[in-house]
Chain A
Amino acid sequence: MSGFKSTERYIASRDLEVAVNAAVALQRPLLVKGEPGTGKTVLAHEVAAALGHPLLEWHVKSTTKAQQGLYEYDAVSRLRDSQLGDPKVADIANYIVRGKLWDAFEADRPQVVLIDEIDKADIEFPNDLLLELDRMQFFVYETRQTITAKHRPVVIITSNNEKELPDAFLRRCFFHYIRFPDRPTMERIVDAHYPGLQRDLAREALTVFFQVRDVPGLKKKPATSELLDWLKLLMIEDLPAEALRSQDAKLVIPPLHGALLKNEQDVHLFERLAFLNRRGG
C-alpha cells in the first residue's frame, strides 16, 4: 500500500506510517500525542505533502470553541450594519463566517485538516465535534443549510496531554504516541535537517544533548526542536566538535546552552550540577 511514508525530510517510524495510513484508509481522525517538539505538528504538513492534499490548520487555544471550526454568526456586525442602513443586512448569510471545517468540507478536492493542540481547549470541545467528525457534516441553523463534506478530509489531531480526552471521542480515532526518538533515529532527523553537518560535530552534539536530557528534575527537557535550533547556532558560530567534548565525560554546561534549556530554573539547576561536578572532580 502506498500513502504516507518516511521521507528525506521527515523521519517516520513504521508504526507511525501504519497509523497514518489506517486513518487515511478508514477516513477517521488520527490522534497524535508525544512530548513537545517531537514533530506532531510537522507530521500534518508531511502527510498533506505525501498525499498531495492542501493543508488546513486549526490551532486551538484555551478560548477556542468547537463551533468556531464550523462557522460563526457575526450578530454584532449585522446589528451595526442595520443601524447604518446597509442593504447587506437583509441576508443573514452575509454574516455567517466560515470555519476551517466548513472550508475543508466544501473544498473540491480532499484536504488534510490539522486540529493542533486540542487539549488546550475546554473539556467539551472534543465532544462538541463528535458528530461533525463522524458524519463529516453539520447544520447551519441561521440559513437552514446542511454542509456535507464533498470529500472526507484527513483529520490529524495533536494533543500535549494537558487534558484527558473523552472516551467517546477517543473511540473514533486512531492513536499514535510519538516516542522520543532514540539516538539512531535522532541522527537521521538531524541528517534530514542539516545534511552537510560535520560528522564529529553531530556526534558530540548528540552526546551532549542526550546527556542534558538525562539530567533529572528538568522542568522542560530539550526535544527535537531544541536540538535542531542548537545545532543551527553551533553551525553559525562555527564551533569545532572539540568545544563540546568534555575531558572526563562529566557534565559541563554546553556552549550556547540557551537554545537547549529554555527554562530559567533549568539553567540554574544545570549550572549548579555542573559546578558540583567540577568541584567533585
Chain B
Amino acid sequence: MFAQFVLALREAGVPASITEYLTLLGAMRAGVADYSVEDFYYLSRAALVKDERHLDRFDRVFGQVFRGLEAAAEGGDGGIAPRDLPEEWLRRMAEKHLTPEERAQVEARGGFDKLMETLRQRLAEQQGRHQGGSKWIGTAGTSPFGAYGYNPEGVRIGQDKSRHRRAVKVWDKREFRDLDDGVELGTRNIKLALRRLRRFAREGAATELDMAGTIRATAHNAGSLDLKMVPERHNAVKVLLFFDVGGSMDDHVRASEELFSAARSEFKHLAFFYFHNCPYERVWRQNQRRRDAMIPTEEVIRTYGPDYRAIFVGDATMSPYEIATPGGSVEHWNDEPGATWMARLLGQWRRSAWLNPAPRDEWGFTQSVGMVRQLMEDRMYPLTPGGLDEMIRELSR
C-alpha cells in the first residue's frame, strides 16, 4: 500500500525514487514513526520530499491516498504489504498497462523512469512551443513517442488501439498547470545555465603559481625555492541586470531572475532592475512594488561604473513608437525616446547584451526586435543555455 503512495507521489510530480522508498521502509522498521499516522506522515515527508516546493503536492497526495488506504484496508483487497519491493509494483504496473511489445520498448529506452522523464521533457518543450499545446506528443515516425498518446487529463501509455485501457496519470490537472509554467523545464535548464554563469563569474579563478614572484623570492632566498602563489581572483565579474516586466514576459522574467539569483553569490556585484518593454528615464528596483521603488536611470548610470556588464532580459516585442518616439511608452509620458535611453545605457556599459526568451527564428517577424538588435549592435541572444554561452563569450571579451 505504501507503494501506491509513492507511485501517487510520482504521479503528482514529487520525484520520489526507489531509494527513498526503501529508506522510508527502513525507517518504519527502525520504529522511527511510532505507529502513529501523524508520525508516518512526517517520516514519509522527510524521506520522500526533498524540495519545499513539492511539499504542498505531497500533502495533497497524502490526503488522497490515505483516504484510499483506509478504505482498502477495510475491504481487505488490493492492499500491498510494505515488504513488497517497489520494483515489484513498477513491474506489475507495467504488466497491467502495457502490452509485451510496449514493455520491450520501455526497457529499450532505459525503463519506466527514463520514459517518464523523457515524456515530461517532451511535454514541457511542446508546451513552450505552442501556447495551449497540441494534443499529441510527436507523431508516428518523427518521434519515439509516436505510439504513446497524451491528453490533457494525463499521460496515457499505450498504443492508440488500446485506448480503452485505464490511463496511467502522471499529473493530475493541477500539476499539469505547473508544468505549463515551464517549472520543470525551467529548473532543468537552469542547472545547465547556472554552470555556465558560474564559469563566467569565476573568470580566472584557480590559484596560480606566480612565476615572477617565485623567481624574485627564490633569488632573494639565495636559491632556496620559495613558491609564490597568486590568490584566487574570485568572483571578479560585476553584472547589472535589467528585466522586462509586464504581461507576456513575466514567466521568462521569473525564470531568468531565478537563474541569476541562484548564481548571486558567485558574482562580486550583481544588481537587478526592472523596466517595461524598453528602459526610459526610470527603472524599478523591485518587480512587485513598482510605484515605491522607482529609481532614476541617471542614478543607475552614475552609480555603476563602466566595469559593469549590463544584461537586458526581454522579448523586445512592442510597438516601434515605444523605442523611437517621445511619449511612446505605454505606461507614462516619456520626454525622450527609448532609443536615447538605450544609447545612454550602452554608452556607460560597453560590454552589454540582450537576452531574448523568444526563439531566435521568430525575431525576424517583429519590427521592434530588429530595432533593439540594431541598438545592441547585434548582441542579442536567445535565453537558452546555448544563448547564454554566446552571451558570456561576448561579455568576456
A contact set with B: CB distance below 8 Å: 1, 14-15, 18-19, 21-23, 25-26, 28, 31, 33, 62-63, 76, 79-80, 82-84, 120, 122-123, 162-165, 167, 170-177, 216-217, 265, 269, 272
Contacts and interface: CB of A to CB of B under 8 A. Distances in A.
Contacts of B226: 80, 83
22 contacts: A1-B32, A15-B45, A19-B43, A19-B46, A22-B32, A22-B47, A26-B23, A26-B26, A26-B27, A79-B225, A123-B194, A123-B198, A162-B264, A164-B187, A164-B262, A171-B19, A174-B23, A175-B50, A175-B51, A176-B46, A216-B288, A265-B285
A18 B32 contact: yes
Contacts of A84: 224
Nearest to A30: B46
A216 B293 CA distance: 12
Nearest to A3: B32
Given A15-B42, A79-B225, A164 B190 contact: yes
A18 B46 contact: yes
A63 B234 CA distance: 8
Given A1-B32, A28-B23, A76-B227, A14 B42 contact: yes
Nearest to A24: B32
Given A123-B194, A163-B262, A172 B19 contact: yes
Interface of B: 15, 17, 19-20, 23, 26-27, 30-34, 38-39, 42-43, 45-47, 49-52, 55, 187, 190-191, 194-195, 198, 224-227, 229, 232, 234-235, 261-262, 264-266, 285-286, 288-289, 292-293
A80 B226 CA distance: 7
A18 to B, nearest CB: 4
Interchain residue pairs A-B with the least CB separation, the first 6: A19-B46, A170-B50, A18-B42, A25-B30, A15-B42, A177-B52
Contacts of A79: 225, 227
A217 B291 CA distance: 12
A263 B211 CA distance: 43
Nearest to A62: B265
Nearest to B195: A123
Nearest to B24: A22
Nearest to A119: B265
B52 A22 contact: no
Contacts of B20: 171
B288 A63 contact: no
A1 B19 contact: no
A63 to B, nearest CB: 6
A18 B262 contact: no
A122 B198 CA distance: 8
A130 B226 CA distance: 37
Which of A18, A63, A83, A175 has most chain B Cβ within 10 Å? A18
Nearest to B292: A217
Nearest to A121: B265
B224 A83 contact: yes
Contacts of A175: 46, 49-51
A21 B45 contact: no
Contacts of B195: 123
A272 B229 CA distance: 50
B266 A1 contact: no
A84 B46 CA distance: 55
A217 B293 contact: yes
Contacts of B33: 18
A35 B273 CA distance: 24
Nearest to B19: A171
